[in-house]
Amino acid sequence: MLLLSGCGAEAKLASGVKLYEVGEYSRSVEKFRKMDFDNRYYRAQASFYLAMSYYNIGQAGRASAYFQRAIRYGFPDPVANFYLGQSLRMREEYEEAIVAYETYLEHDVGNRAALNGVQSCKMALQNSLVTRYVVEENRDLRSRESDYSPAFAGDDFSTVYFSSMRGGDKKKNVNQITGQGSSLIYSSIQDGKGGWEDPIPFVGTTDPVQDDGAASFSIDGKEMFFTRCVYPEQEPKGAVIMVRKRAGGRWGEPEALAFGPDSLIFAHPAISPDGNTLYFVSDMPGGFGGKDLWKVTRSSGSEWSLPENLGVKINTPADEMFPTVRSDGRLYFSSDGLVGYGGLDIFEAVYDSENDGWEIRNPGLPINSPGHDFGIAFRGNREMGMLSSSRGSYRGVEQIYNFELPDIEAILRGQVVDESGDAIERASVRVVGNNGINQTASTSSSGAFTFVLKPGATYIVMVSADGFFNGKIDFSTLGMDESDEFDREITLKAVDSVNE
């Protein structure tokens, strides 16, 4: 009787594991939540897979609870401690996360992702890397479901393209992986007031067996690359990169780019400004674990080289995903294996040709958060654009946020007076900086003048007026890290007073 009971439990568990392995995380959550075993082994197994299912749909709170339950019931694989650390870090429970990572490191000494997890928690506790960026939710593009990976086509920033899982309100349209609608690529045009019009579908279908997303456009706007995932019922299926070309103002049908077997993942394409390098994500053999960033190049036509891994400085045993390339060639991507604040953090990578390697930088808070942050899109070389983030969402739903780095301004307000303190009207004031600034103004009836200057420079302010000797002052904005106002008074000596 005990043997028969064990067989039934094994079959029940296997039915949920099968859903998890084909990537149907939403269905596997439903399946595992209904399982109730008397045996500690099966309870541990079910708890672990339920935790991993929650983790993969971004619900860190529920994931951490079930990882803890799996460990309590004796789940044998130490990896449960690693993912417990990842989940706790997303919940900002940093001290508990450190304990989980260190427990995992007892079994996998030197694991880079776990060591970075510990360092990430310590960095967050110290509240370092806080920057001046301003990040605000874009309410015009918001829906109840996930909206992510914004993109612009070339230098046209009046239209944004983004991926969205909106439209899953009917049961037949629910995607079995996410429990939301199928992912489509939408477009939205900016209105005259700076807002965004209602998004309309651009690529994709509401069929729940297909997802399209993570678009990237060539600098001339004539090529569009994106990810397509198709979900068969019986076996795991990878993702494929699609390309769509525009000629004569019309877009052609998407075509698949074959970089390897269709059982593997080839996703999140990002085309370089010169159109000759395509970065993407894959789990193909030869990587460093999890999902890695790779690239292919083309010299002419549509022939691409063999894939090349971007190397150990970028890739970790965890996941590196969602690459984008800025117009100046800087590569941005997201990772949950490098030192960051939560789930996926956005990183900047610049290739150093002299040292033959990548230099990696975390843009800090608030670009990144304890949630998943990814899919950043800049407006050219300006320090502003859009990104997607799950910050603040207990459901793990991503929304699109606007971000901007405000200019630091040094506002120099001054007054030119004579030796009696009376204002000198129409005095000529000239400011010259070692940063190339050369500006001239005339004083008002109250002797006032104003200049808006840049930080990180030294200036000479020179004043001249009829009947007075010239005057000058030195002014510096070196070391400024926020906007400020400065008041200065410049006194001129009258020529007549000296002659007397």
| Rounded Cα–Cα distance for residues 266 and 268 (Å) | 7
Say whether 499 sits in a helix, a strand or coil.
helix
Of 78-87, 138-147, 201-210, 476-485, the range with the lowest mean pLDDT is: 201-210
Q: Is pLDDT of 5 > 60?
A: no
Q: What is the mean pLDDT of residues 357-378?
A: 96
Q: Sorting pLDDT into bands at 50, 70 and 90, what band is 341?
A: very high
Q: Give me the pLDDT at residue 2, please.
A: 36
> How would you label 7-27 residue by residue, b for 16+ Cβ within 10 Å and e otherwise?
eebeebbeebbbbbebbbbbb
Q: Is the dihedral of CA 102, 106, 108, 110 positive or negative?
A: positive
| Rounded Cα–Cα distance for residues 337 and 83 (Å) | 11
| Rounded Cα–Cα distance for residues 454 and 472 (Å) | 19
Q: Is pLDDT of 500 > 90?
A: no
Q: Which two structure tokens, joined as six digits, stand for 162?
A: 């983004």
Q: Where are the domains of the chain?
A: 2-126, 134-404, 410-499
CA 37 to chain centroid, in Å, comes to 41
Residue 423 pairs in a beta bridge with 417
Q: Sorting pLDDT into bands at 50, 70 and 90, what band is 332?
A: very high
| Rounded Cα–Cα distance for residues 229 and 482 (Å) | 45
Residue 475 pairs in a beta bridge with 459
Instruction: Respond yes or no on whether the N-terminal peptide bond of residue 366 is cis (omega within 30° of 0).
Output: yes
Greater model confidence, 364 or 230: 364
Q: Which two structure tokens, joined as six digits, stand for 190?
A: 């900016």
Neighbouring C-beta atoms of residue 174, cutoff 10 Å: 19
Q: Give me the pLDDT at residue 3, please.
A: 37
Q: Which fold has domain 2-126?
A: 1.25.40
Q: Give me the pLDDT at residue 236, please.
A: 58
| Rounded Cα–Cα distance for residues 423 and 411 (Å) | 20
Q: Which of 94, 11, 83, 6 shows the shortest CA–CA distance to 47? A: 83
The number of residues in the chain equals: 500
Q: What is the tens place of the pLDDT at every residue in 77-91?
A: 999 999 999 999 999
Architecture of domain 410-499: Sandwich (2.60)
Q: What is the CATH number of domain 134-404?
A: 2.120.10.30
Q: Sorting pLDDT into bands at 50, 70 and 90, what band is 204?
A: confident
Question: Looking up tokens 């990814």, which residue turns up?
Answer: 374
